[in-house]
Amino acid sequence: MDPLLDPATGDYAGPATDTLANAVYLRLMTPLGGWWADPALGSRLHELTRSKDSSRIDLLACQYAEQALQPLQQDGRASRIQVSSQRQGPGRLLLQIEAAETGGHTRHFQHQVRIA
């Protein structure tokens, strides 16, 4: 069993009982193509740190997160994933992720994105 990762610190938080939370965290934090065993794992969110802070970045961040989380739907861990964004001040964006598990339970996750 893999250890559970704490999204706030990135540290191990004990034995993993929540594989969906780990999958969401790893897919958003890993740069796309950054893991040798699966070049399709990861997101393009890291590219936004070099982008200018404009209104179109909100939509782009949501699209990047949805693309990164799409494999969770394909492998059956989630039946639906929705991503929305909220500004946290200049240069900061908070992604609100809603993932419906295949059993019907809806999970909510948050992910901070830094923008130049």
Half-sphere exposure of 83 (CA within 13 A, CB side): 22
pLDDT in tens, the chain (116 residues): 455 666 666 665 655 456 788 889 999 999 999 989 889 999 999 999 888 878 899 999 999 999 999 999 998 889 999 999 999 888 899 999 999 987 888 999 999 999 87
**Residue 21 is encoded by which pair of tokens?**
């939370």
Phi, psi of 78, rounded to the nearest 5 degrees: -140, 140
Which of left, alpha, beta for 39 (phi over 0: left; psi -120 to 50: alpha)?
A: alpha
Q: What is the DSSP letter of 114?
A: E
The CATH number given to 3-114 is 3.10.450.40
pTM of the model: 0.83
- Written as one string, the DSSP assignment of 13-80 is EEE---HHHHHHHHHHHSBTT-STT-TT-SBSGGGGGGS---THHHHHHHHHHHHHHHHHHHTTSEEE
